[in-house]
């Protein structure tokens, strides 16, 4: 196979071709390497591989050719030096924390991150002497004033879940670096198709591959993308020891997910934009949260930072939880599930599901009201999606 430098190709091409190093069987499609271990030619070679003096596979907890293909492809797409895959998005975030933090360290985290991310920092890292302060995602002064001498990194999602707020990655990277901290961005909502945080100054990107990267709601997986040094020194040793490994089968599913990611994201964004504009005109809705709308507080920033506005729309119904549940239950086709990024449209009530385990004060501070409904807009015909929501409006 020709040795191609995929850095010279655009994302759509990398997504389809990068990462697969064809074997002696000349297969056209990436195979699943279902093997837990690898064989050495002799005892000396085994020893050299274990010390890292010669490259090569040892054991699939830390390297597997199918998983490596996924890692290489996603690294190219995010314009990062290295990528490591994990068994879930949470396992990827856990790996960043385990790799970079020690007792006595401090983290500044956006208040509007995935519910389990809040719990991971607060309850679990907290138990081992890492303190986390939560700040308003869009308030850059709050970020800077929360930084302490022992702050190791800033962590955020943009757009956020479920309020679809946008943070200025470039500005927060400047603030982080001024104080000798790293900036970590959870890029699940945008994927590298819409936004490349590393190019905007972020140091580490984390992913839940479970969402748009799979795109059809089949597998759980995650990834960390960063520079070679961070990966080698902090993340890879933890993966090798901690063992939250992505399975080769899941990597194979995610590889084919990446191949259609660019066309799917464009279609998700087109449908979501249409739905958001339509929702704004419906009665009984207090507010529609979508960065493509003029009414969105960071509309200009979203235009500058992202290539499109994303596939998730949320809106607040007048009438609180009762109205929200009624609307959700009145749908016929749309799936009531907390997952997102699927070709199927999904609907969820954040206050009692994804964010239900948060303390009511924490939830209120994050602005997640009882009337809030989140729709991850799928690829069905937009008129059918509108019709289904209209049943409960």
Ligand X SMILES: *Cc1c(COP(=O)(O)O)cnc(C)c1O
CA-wise closest residue to 269 among 161, 190, 381? 190
Omega before residue 273 within 30° of 0, cis:
no
CA-wise closest residue to 139 among 118, 165, 178? 165
Residue number with CB closer to ligand X (16 or 351): 351
Residue number with CB closer to ligand X (94 or 182): 94
Q: Please give the order of strands across the beta sheet that includes 222-226.
A: 82-86, 222-226, 204-208, 182-186, 151-157, 106-110, 131-135
Residue number with CB closer to ligand X (341 or 371): 341
Nearest approach, Cβ of residue 88 and ligand X (Å): 3
Nearest approach, Cβ of residue 167 and ligand X (Å): 13
Cα 205 from chain centre: 8
Backbone angles phi, psi at 144, to 5 degrees: -65, -40
Nearest approach, Cβ of residue 343 and ligand X (Å): 16
Rounded distance, CA 350 to CA 161, Å?
9
Residue whose beta carbon is closest to ligand X: 89
Nearest approach, Cβ of residue 244 and ligand X (Å): 10
Nearest approach, Cβ of residue 63 and ligand X (Å): 21
Residue number with CB closer to ligand X (33 or 189): 189
Measured CA distances, 332 to 205, 316, 328 (Å): 37, 20, 9
Rounded distance, CA 155 to CA 108, Å?
6
Instruction: Please give the DSSP secondary-structure letter assigned to residue 290.
Output: -
Residue number with CB closer to ligand X (65 or 221): 221
Nearest approach, Cβ of residue 7 and ligand X (Å): 27
Residue number with CB closer to ligand X (30 or 223): 223
Inter-axis angle of helices 382-390 and 261-280, nearest 10: 40
- For 206-271, the three-class secondary structure string (H helix, E strand, C coil) is EEECCCCCCCCCCCCCEEEEECHHHHHHHHHHHHHHHCCCCCHHHHHHHHHHHHCHHHHHHHHHHH
Nearest approach, Cβ of residue 5 and ligand X (Å): 31
Task: Name the residues that contact ligand X, by CB under 6 A.
Answer: 88-90, 114, 157, 161, 186, 188, 208, 210-211, 220, 222
Residue number with CB closer to ligand X (125 or 285): 125
């Amino acid at each position: 196979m020709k040795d191609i430098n995929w850095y010279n190709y655009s994302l759509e091409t990398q997504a389809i071709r990068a990462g697969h190093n064809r074997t002696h069987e000349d297969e056209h499609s990436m195979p699943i390497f279902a093997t837990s271990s690898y064989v050495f030619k002799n005892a000396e070679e085994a020893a050299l591989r274990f010390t890292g003096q010669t490259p090569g596979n040892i054991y699939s907890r830390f390297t597997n050719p199918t998983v490596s293909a996924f890692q290489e492809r996603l690294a190219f797409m995010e314009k990062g030096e290295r990528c490591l895959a994990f068994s879930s998005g949470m396992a990827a975030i856990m790996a960043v924390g385990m790799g970079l933090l020690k007792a006595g360290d401090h983290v500044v985290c956006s208040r509007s991150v995935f519910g389990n991310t809040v719990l991971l920092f607060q309850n679990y890292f907290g138990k081992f002497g890492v303190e986390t302060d939560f700040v308003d995602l869009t308030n850059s002064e709050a970020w800077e004033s929360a930084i302490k001498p022992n702050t190791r990194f800033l962590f955020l999602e943009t757009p956020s879940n479920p309020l679809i707020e946008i943070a200025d990655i470039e500005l927060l990277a400047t603030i982080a670096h001024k104080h000798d901290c790293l900036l970590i961005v959870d890029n699940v909502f945008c994927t590298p198709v819409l936004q490349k945080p590393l190019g905007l100054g972020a140091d580490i990107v984390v992913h839940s591959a479970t969402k748009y990267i799979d795109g059809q709601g089949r597998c759980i997986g995650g990834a960390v993308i960063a520079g070679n040094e961070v990966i080698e020194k902090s993340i890879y040793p933890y993966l090798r020891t901690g063992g939250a490994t992505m399975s080769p089968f899941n990597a194979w599913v995610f590889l084919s997910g990446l191949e259609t990611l660019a066309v799917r994201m464009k279609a998700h964004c087109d449908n979501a934009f249409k739905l958001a504009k339509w929702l704004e005109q419906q009665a009984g809705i207090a507010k529609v949260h979508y960065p493509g709308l003029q009414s969105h507080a960071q509309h200009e920033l979203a235009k500058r930072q992202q290539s499109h506005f994303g596939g998730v729309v949320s809106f607040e119904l007048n009438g609180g939880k009762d109205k929200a549940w009624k609307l959700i239950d009145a749908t016929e086709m749309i799936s009531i599930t907390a997952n997102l990024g699927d070709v199927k449209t999904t609907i969820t009530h954040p206050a009692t599901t994804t964010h239900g385990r948060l303390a009511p004060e924490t939830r209120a501070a994050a602005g997640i009201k009882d009337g809030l409904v989140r729709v991850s807009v799928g690829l069905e015909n937009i008129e059918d999606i509108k019709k289904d929501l209209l049943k409960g409006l």
